[in-house]
Chains A and B, each alone.
Chain A
Amino acid sequence: MANVLVFAETRANTLRKVALESVTAARALADSTGGGEVHALVAGSPGIAAVAEQLGQHGADLVVVVEHAGLANFDREVVAATLAARAKSGSYRIVVVGFSAQGRDIGPRVAAKLDVPIVTDVVEASVTGGAITVKHPAYANKVIVTLEINAPLAVLSVRPGAFMVATAPHAVRTEMMAPAAEPSASKVVVKELIEGGKGKLDLGEAPVIVAGGRGLKAPENFKLAEDLAAAFGNAAVGATRAVTDEGWRPHSDQIGQTGRQVSPQLYIAVGISGAIQHLAGMRSSRTIVAINKDKDAPIFKVADYGIVGDVLEVLPVLTQAVREAKAAH
């Protein structure tokens, strides 16, 4: 029986997907120790307590609510201090955070404040006796490392997407907690926030990339690639050297040996034959989809899924299908 403390990440007082995944992971860990409690800590501006019910749905027994007008935007210093204070005050076996932008910032801080070990990018975890065993993909997912943590308390930072959100309704209590530090006293001050929609997603950052080649036939057909990217919502559009050489797209969009080297979660190559120069820039992408009319094109050798066909026909249909899949989600 061991309790697990989990940080439930929010943005604008709304739970993020990674928060539910973290709670799911925490629930499983608590259960594996023979039924400990899951305590989820949320921090935000007044009104944040409203998310408690939702956390209960996924297995939280107690929601620790940290409400402060100064926490309308995520404050890593305050959250880390508060999470560490809470971890110290209760009897916890594990602190779970997401391996997201917020979690990456607070995990190591909490570990250092508490002087407890931390493992990040965890895809599997279990508690066996005195040790916590976790799996962690390393070397760009080319090696799976199994680690053993020998400490009474540890911080685990879980990879987004690794723990599928599960429903496990628990009767949830709430408990108010004051921030362990004054938000206005934080050393690092956010001066400006630029929301994603306004700026184009950078090729190096985008989890999904739609890249177009000469097979798109004309610059105006890149609209089809842009539509597909828009359907994903988190996608950027890239191009091959042939296309940037033609001036159809700016040189900054080029993916390949002489352009950007990318490794997104999903890479969709449309009308790209797969010259050596292009492959050198995208081969390490996690999942590769290729659409090309030439079934012998080298791109199909590196693609996980290939469709042989005219990109100008396939793209609109795929865009519609992705839109529907996203809407259903």
Chain B
Amino acid sequence: MPASKLIFIFLLAGGAGFFALNVQRLVRYMRLGHAENRTDAPLTRLKNVLTIGIGQTKIFRDPIAGAMHATIFWGFMVLTAGTIEILIQGVFTGFSYALFLPRPVFQLYAFSQDVFALLVLGAIAFAFYRRLVLHPKRLEGDKLEHTDALIILSLIGGLMVTLLLTNACQYVLDPSAIGPEKAISRGLAMAIGAVDPQPVVAARVFWWLHVLLVLAFLNYLPYSKHLHVATSLINVFFSNTSGPGQKGVMRAMDLEADVEQFGASDVEHLTWKNLLDGYSCTECGRCTAACPANITGKPLSPRKIVINTRQRLMEKGPVVTGDRMEFLHPALLHGEGDDAGATTATEVLTEHRLLDTYITEEELWACTSCRACVQECPVSIDQLDIINEMRRNLVLSESRFPEEVQPAFESLERNGSPWAFSPADRANWAEGMDIPTMAEVVARGERPDVLFWVGCMGSFDDRAKKITVAFARILKACKINFAILGQEEHCHGDPARRLGNEYLYQMLAKDTIGTLDRYEVKTIVTSCPHCFHQLGNEFPQLGGNYEVIHHSTFIERLLQDARMPLQSGEGKGLTVAYHDSCYLGRYNDIYDAPRETLRRALPVVDLIEPKRTRDRGLCCGAGGGRMFMEERVGKRINVERTEELLATGAETIAVACPFCMTMISDGVKAAQSDVPVLDIAEVVAGQLVSS
């Protein structure tokens, strides 16, 4: 066996072994996280891998960067086959897929190698141009991040160049070795042949360079943010952000468990999946670019949350697992924000933690839970899950939260609504409307078909009460057999849950389930997306199972079935901009029902879309309990959003959520505009015959 072959085998084994060592180390750190089953619904998971992963669907949400990335990604998939062939050739001289592949297939393969090498090169060139000339805002990382990116781009570029040059040299030496399908390599060979008609040395140099680059690339990954090359498909498989399970459902929590820690203040309080998210983040910044808090100048950046999680894991993992292989420690898996600067192991364990050292309380409370970050992430990272777990720790373990949140908690506890209003006033809106309560209907020995869950905003807020009345009028006009809970309704606890107060949430939720089950409620309709999400998607965790319908869907169905006595006239020609509620849209994929409702109710409506719309819609700023907090830093989110809506030139802004109503109405006032803000129910009720 020639010495070169021995050297090659030695290098190959060494490279693979070193990589395996790193993988094993990263897996060991990842296992510091809680156990969690993520293998349910394997078919859906596989489908996600095929679409989001291999199909790159989410990458294409940014069409230009998307095309660039997809070219490199698909190129990699194709070229990996070639790389394997080359590595095998290194051990068994003369090996070729041609030995067992039918000729046309092999030709196609050979053609793909050549073409994709060139396509990838082109994409890499564009990537360099983007980084060095265009400087997109979301890629503005620190110096280390830039260096890392440039190294990786150079490595990939090098791989492509050496691959093509190796092929070209081989063709010069032996024209039969390379078929006509590798036209690019052949073209290149003409140039090489002109310089050196017998490029024996060059062929060997390029081959060796290519092989060495492959091994270098492989072993560089664990030290780089480009670790995502290895982890993203795995991450997509295990993610719950695109189903299976339900989107945005907060993790169930056992409060009876005899534990010292509630929620997460450090990496080991998260699950292994949260930690895998850290490995999968390539810092593209799409999440942060979509984050309403970040856009308006708040300290929150979802990307930083994920990077910090990984950074802390890289700091704590080696100490906890007793990793002594200092040389394995990642130098390039850098962080974001201030450097924690730990030196000793004791410091790492006792003085540092994920919360405070890396992620501040202010960042966590700035989140509106709008899910824009989760929606954008091309590799299905769940930034919000980490934020929610850390909020739980703040409230349940440390009792730390903005002081203005306390009245909301106390009112929820005492009055069953986040505002200090008397429960006795809950059904005041219904006075004179002849709407029965559940208790009254059941006392008559009857059961209504539908329970109208009014919600706290709809019960107490003067503006939202008008929505409630409008929707009740629609129900009555359509002769729906419905009832309300009246004074027996109280908050289901969702605001408390979003604010991290799982204890208060479960108290209120279990009580609500008790009431609903006592009346054997089957179907619920509500005009609040937050109630809709909570009752329908999260109550099952606590044993409450109901069919819950948002009023947008309910009204749309009524219109579809032509059950509504609408004015037949032409109606006013009206230009309407609809603002998507996060809990309706990104949480529940309801984008069309409210739009369709407007179209059907107003025959000559002209729907126009704001700049950010549907699943890219910008939050109104009220979600995640932000409604009950001050907004002191940066521009107000509702003002930003309202400006976008007003910029459409719409004559009316339509919403489908009482929280959005408050925020957008305030935004319109702040803009000193008099464009009316209406709930879709109000628009429809205005078209009822009786009105």
Which residues of A are interface residues toward B (Cβ below 8 A)?
214, 241-242, 245-246, 251, 257-259, 261, 274-277, 280, 298, 301
Contact present for B670 and A261 (CB under 8 Å): no
25 contacts between A and B (CB under 8 A): A214-B669, A241-B630, A242-B669, A242-B670, A245-B631, A246-B670, A257-B407, A257-B411, A257-B419, A257-B628, A258-B404, A258-B628, A258-B629, A258-B630, A259-B404, A261-B407, A274-B462, A275-B461, A275-B666, A277-B419, A280-B407, A280-B420, A298-B462, A298-B463, A301-B462
Report B-chain residues with C-beta under 8 Å of the C-beta of A257. Answer: 404, 407-408, 411, 419-420, 628
Q: Are B629 and A251 in contact (CB under 8 A)?
A: no
B421-448 interface code vs A (CB 8 A; 1 in, 0 out): 1000000000000000000000000000
| Most chain B Cβ neighbours within 10 Å, of A245, A258, A261, A301 | A258
Shortest Cβ distance from B417 into chain A, in angstroms? Answer: 10
- Cα-based distance from A259 to B420 in the complex (angstroms): 13
Contacts of A277 in B (CB 8 A): 419
Decide yes or no: A258 and B632 within 8 Å by CB, A276-B461, A298-B462 being known contacts: no
Which residue of chain B has the shortest Cβ distance to A273 in the bound complex? B669
Q: For the complex, would chain A's binding face be called helix, strand, loop or mixed by DSSP majority?
A: helix
Contacts of B407 in A (CB 8 A): 257-258, 261, 280
Chain B nearest CB from A82 CB (Å) reads 44
Specify which chain B residues have a CB less than 8 angstroms from the CB of A276 in the assembled complex: 419, 457, 460-462, 464, 662
B510 within 8 A of partner (CB) = no
Q: For the A-B complex with A280-B419, A298-B462 known, give 14 more contacts whose Cβ atoms are closer than 8 Å.
A: A241-B630, A251-B630, A257-B420, A258-B404, A258-B628, A261-B407, A274-B462, A275-B461, A275-B462, A276-B460, A280-B407, A280-B420, A280-B421, A298-B463
Report Cα–Cα, A70/B404, bound state, in Å.
46
Contact with A along B608-647 (1 / 0, CB 8 A): 0000000000000000000011111000100000000000
> A residues within 8 A CB of B670?
242, 246
Q: Give the one of B411, B457, B630, B669 with max A CB within 10 A.
A: B630
| Residues of A close to B669: CB separation below 8 A | 214, 242
Contacts of B462 in A (CB 8 A): 274-276, 298, 301
Q: How far is the CB of A173 from chain B (nearest CB, A)?
A: 54
Distance in angstroms between the alpha carbons of A280 and B408 in the assembled complex: 11
Q: Which of the four size classes fits the interface of chain B?
A: 20 to 34
Chain A minimum-CB-distance residue to B403 = A258
B385-418 contacts to A (CB < 8 Å): 404, 407-408, 411
Give Cα A258 to B464, complex, Å: 19
Q: Which B residues are CB-close (under 8 A) to A275?
A: 461-463, 662, 666
Max count, chain A CB within 10 A of own CB: residue among B460, B662, B666: B666
In the bound assembly, the distance between CA atoms of A275 and B462 in angstroms comes to 7
CB-CB nearest 4 A-B residue pairs: A298-B462, A258-B404, A276-B461, A280-B419
Contact with A along B648-666 (1 / 0, CB 8 A): 0000000000000010001
In the complex, chain A residues whose CB is within 8 Å of the CB of B631: 245
How far is A277 from B659 in the complex, measured between Cα atoms in Å?
A: 12
Q: Give the shortest distance, in Å, between A271 (CB) and chain B (any CB).
A: 12
CB distance from B54 to the nearest CB of A (A): 47
CA of A258 to CA of B402, assembled, Å: 10
Q: Are A251 and B632 in contact (CB under 8 A)?
A: yes
CB distance from B507 to the nearest CB of A (A): 21
Q: Shortest distance in angstroms between B562's beta carbon and chain A's nearest beta carbon?
A: 34
Max chain B C-beta neighbours (<10 A), residue from A214, A242, A258, A276: A276
Q: Which residues of B contact A261 (CB under 8 A)?
A: 407, 420
Specify which of A242, A251, A259 is in contact with B666 (CB 8 Å cutoff).
A242
| CA of A241 to CA of B669, assembled, Å | 13
Give the residue of A245, A274, A301 whose beta carbon is less than 8 angstroms from that of B636: A245
B632 to chain A: which residues have CB within 8 Å? 251
Separation of A214 and B670 alpha carbons in the complex (Å): 9
In this complex, what residue of A is CB-closest to B418? A257
- Residues of chain A within 8 A (CB-CB) of B463 are 275, 298
B431 to chain A, nearest CB (A): 13
Contacts of B421 in A (CB 8 A): 280
> What A residues does B630 contact at CB under 8 A?
241, 245, 251, 258
Q: Which residues of A contact B460 (CB under 8 A)?
A: 276
In the assembled complex, the Cα of A282 lies from the Cα of B670 at a distance in Å of 23
CA distance A301 to B457 in the complex (A): 17
Closest to A299 in B: B462
Least Cβ–Cβ distance between B633 and chain A, in angstroms: 11
| Chain A residues within an 8 Å CB radius of B420 | 257, 261, 280
Residue of B with least CB distance to A241: B630
Could you say which residues of chain B place their CB within 8 Å of the CB of A274? 462
For residue A246, which residue of chain B has the nearest CB? B670
B residues in contact with A245, CB < 8 Å: 630-631, 636
Compute how far the CA of A245 lies from the CA of B629 in the bound complex, rounded to whole angstroms: 12
How would residues 375 to 389 of chain B score, 1 for a CB under 8 Å from any chain A CB and 0 otherwise?
Answer: 000000000000000
With A and B bound together, what is the CA distance between A259 and B419 in angstroms? 12
Expressed in whole angstroms, the Cα–Cα distance for A257 and B281 within the complex equals 39
Q: Which residue of B lies closest to A242 (CB)?
A: B666
Chain A neighbourhood of B419, CB < 8 A: 257, 276-277, 280
From residue B428, how far is it (CB to closest CB) to chain A in Å? Answer: 10
Alpha-carbon distance between A277 and B460 when the two chains are bound, in angstroms: 10
CA distance A36 to B573 in the complex (A): 83
A63–B390 Cα gap in the complex (Å)?
68
A251–B632 Cα gap in the complex (Å)? 9
Chain B residues near A258 (CB-CB < 8 A): 404, 407, 628-630
